[in-house]
Amino acid sequence: MKLHPMVKDVNVERRVVTGNRGYIRASVTFVNDSQLWMREFVDDRLRKIGYAYHYQNIDGKLLFRYDNAPHHADAASFPHHKHVSNKPTPNSAEERTVIDVVGEIVKTIRKELF
Protein backbone atom coordinates (compact mmCIF):
# COMPACT_ATOMS: atom_id res chain seq x y z
CA MET A 1 0.00 0.00 0.00
CA LYS A 2 1.40 3.39 -0.98
CA LEU A 3 1.12 5.97 1.80
CA HIS A 4 0.64 9.71 1.48
CA PRO A 5 4.05 11.47 1.55
CA MET A 6 3.16 13.06 4.92
CA VAL A 7 2.34 9.65 6.46
CA LYS A 8 5.05 7.53 8.09
CA ASP A 9 2.99 4.55 9.26
CA VAL A 10 -0.55 3.16 9.44
CA ASN A 11 -1.84 0.45 11.75
CA VAL A 12 -5.39 -0.87 11.20
CA GLU A 13 -7.48 -3.23 13.32
CA ARG A 14 -10.93 -4.49 12.33
CA ARG A 15 -13.31 -6.39 14.58
CA VAL A 16 -16.82 -7.70 14.44
CA VAL A 17 -18.61 -6.83 17.66
CA THR A 18 -21.90 -8.62 16.89
CA GLY A 19 -23.44 -10.24 13.84
CA ASN A 20 -24.49 -6.87 12.46
CA ARG A 21 -22.06 -4.37 13.99
CA GLY A 22 -18.33 -3.91 14.01
CA TYR A 23 -15.60 -1.36 14.30
CA ILE A 24 -12.47 -0.24 12.60
CA ARG A 25 -9.69 1.20 14.71
CA ALA A 26 -6.51 2.67 13.26
CA SER A 27 -3.57 4.86 14.07
CA VAL A 28 -1.67 7.02 11.61
CA THR A 29 1.77 8.43 12.36
CA PHE A 30 2.76 11.47 10.34
CA VAL A 31 6.22 12.72 9.32
CA ASN A 32 6.36 15.11 12.29
CA ASP A 33 5.55 12.15 14.63
CA SER A 34 2.09 13.49 15.43
CA GLN A 35 -0.61 10.82 15.45
CA LEU A 36 -4.21 10.36 14.43
CA TRP A 37 -6.11 7.75 16.42
CA MET A 38 -9.41 6.88 14.82
CA ARG A 39 -12.30 4.55 15.36
CA GLU A 40 -15.46 4.03 13.41
CA PHE A 41 -18.38 1.87 14.44
CA VAL A 42 -20.26 0.45 11.47
CA ASP A 43 -23.46 -1.48 10.86
CA ASP A 44 -23.89 -4.58 8.68
CA ARG A 45 -23.93 -2.40 5.55
CA LEU A 46 -20.69 -0.69 6.62
CA ARG A 47 -22.52 2.58 7.32
CA LYS A 48 -20.76 4.65 9.95
CA ILE A 49 -22.85 4.94 13.12
CA GLY A 50 -20.22 6.26 15.50
CA TYR A 51 -16.77 7.78 15.16
CA ALA A 52 -13.89 9.55 16.84
CA TYR A 53 -10.83 11.06 15.12
CA HIS A 54 -8.31 12.07 17.79
CA TYR A 55 -5.23 14.02 16.63
CA GLN A 56 -2.33 14.55 19.03
CA ASN A 57 1.19 15.93 18.92
CA ILE A 58 4.40 13.97 19.49
CA ASP A 59 3.99 14.42 23.28
CA GLY A 60 0.48 12.94 23.26
CA LYS A 61 -1.24 16.31 23.79
CA LEU A 62 -4.65 16.63 22.13
CA LEU A 63 -4.63 18.99 19.17
CA PHE A 64 -8.21 18.24 18.14
CA ARG A 65 -10.80 15.49 18.12
CA TYR A 66 -13.94 15.11 16.05
CA ASP A 67 -16.59 12.75 17.39
CA ASN A 68 -20.30 12.11 17.63
CA ALA A 69 -20.55 10.95 21.23
CA PRO A 70 -23.96 12.24 22.43
CA HIS A 71 -22.66 14.15 25.46
CA HIS A 72 -22.83 17.74 24.15
CA ALA A 73 -26.54 18.18 23.45
CA ASP A 74 -26.14 21.98 23.40
CA ALA A 75 -23.90 21.87 20.29
CA ALA A 76 -25.69 23.26 17.24
CA SER A 77 -24.44 20.29 15.23
CA PHE A 78 -25.37 17.69 17.88
CA PRO A 79 -24.18 14.99 18.10
CA HIS A 80 -21.23 16.00 15.88
CA HIS A 81 -18.61 18.27 17.47
CA LYS A 82 -14.91 19.11 17.60
CA HIS A 83 -12.74 19.30 20.70
CA VAL A 84 -9.76 21.63 20.38
CA SER A 85 -6.79 21.75 22.75
CA ASN A 86 -7.10 24.29 25.57
CA LYS A 87 -10.83 24.88 24.92
CA PRO A 88 -13.15 23.51 27.59
CA THR A 89 -16.25 23.53 25.37
CA PRO A 90 -16.31 21.73 22.01
CA ASN A 91 -17.09 23.55 18.78
CA SER A 92 -20.00 22.65 16.55
CA ALA A 93 -18.80 20.68 13.55
CA GLU A 94 -20.37 18.77 10.71
CA GLU A 95 -19.75 15.04 10.46
CA ARG A 96 -16.27 14.32 9.14
CA THR A 97 -14.71 11.37 7.35
CA VAL A 98 -11.21 10.11 7.96
CA ILE A 99 -10.26 11.59 4.55
CA ASP A 100 -11.48 15.03 5.69
CA VAL A 101 -9.48 14.78 8.90
CA VAL A 102 -6.28 13.58 7.23
CA GLY A 103 -6.61 16.49 4.78
CA GLU A 104 -6.89 18.94 7.69
CA ILE A 105 -3.86 17.39 9.37
CA VAL A 106 -1.76 17.44 6.19
CA LYS A 107 -2.52 21.17 5.72
CA THR A 108 -1.43 21.80 9.32
CA ILE A 109 1.81 19.85 8.91
CA ARG A 110 2.63 21.60 5.61
CA LYS A 111 2.28 24.98 7.32
CA GLU A 112 4.53 23.74 10.12
CA LEU A 113 7.23 22.34 7.80
CA PHE A 114 7.24 24.82 4.95
For the segment 53-83, what is each residue's pLDDT rounded down to a tens digit?
999 999 999 999 999 998 877 877 899 999 9
In a domain, 63, yes or no: yes
**The domain containing residue 33 runs over which residues?**
7-113
Measured between alpha carbons, how far is 29 from 98 in angstroms, rounded to an integer? 14
What count of other Cβ atoms lies within 10 Å of the Cβ of residue 31? 14
In a domain, 108, yes or no: yes
24 close to 39: Cβ distance less than 8 angstroms: yes
In a domain, 1, yes or no: no
In a domain, 77, yes or no: yes
Measured between alpha carbons, how far is 112 from 114 in angstroms, rounded to an integer? 6
Select from 39, 81, 36 the least CA-distant residue to 62: 36
In a domain, 37, yes or no: yes
The tally of domains found in the chain comes to 1
DSSP letter string over 95-110? ---HHHHHHHHHHHHH
Average pLDDT over residues 37-65: 94
- 6, 52, 76, 88, 111 from 69: Cα distances, Å: 29, 8, 14, 16, 30
pLDDT at 27 over 90: yes
Burial of 32 (0-12, 13-18, 19+ CB in 10 A): middle
Q: What is the pTM of this model?
A: 0.89
